[in-house]
Amino acid sequence: MLKTFNQQCRAVELLKRQARISIVHKETRLSKRVPKEGYHEIHGRFACAGAVKYSTQGLTRTLKKYKEVTFFAACFATVTAKTQDLEIIHVIHAYDLFKKIYGSSQLDFTGAWVVARDLRLGITKLSKCHHCGAPVLLNAREDDSNRCGVVQLN
- 131 CB burial (10 A radius; 0-12, 13-18, 19+): middle
- 51 CB burial (10 A radius; 0-12, 13-18, 19+): exposed
Which pLDDT belongs to residue 87?
86
- 143 CB burial (10 A radius; 0-12, 13-18, 19+): exposed
Q: Note the pLDDT tens digit of each residue in 104-144.
A: 999 999 999 999 999 999 999 999 888 888 888 888 877 66
User: What's the predicted TM-score (pTM) here?
Assistant: 0.85
Q: Note the pLDDT tens digit of each residue in 8-51.
A: 999 999 999 999 999 999 999 999 999 999 999 999 999 987 76
Averaged over 65-72, what is the pLDDT? 94
Distance CA 118, CA 28 (A): 19
- Domain residue extents for the chain: 2-43, 56-153
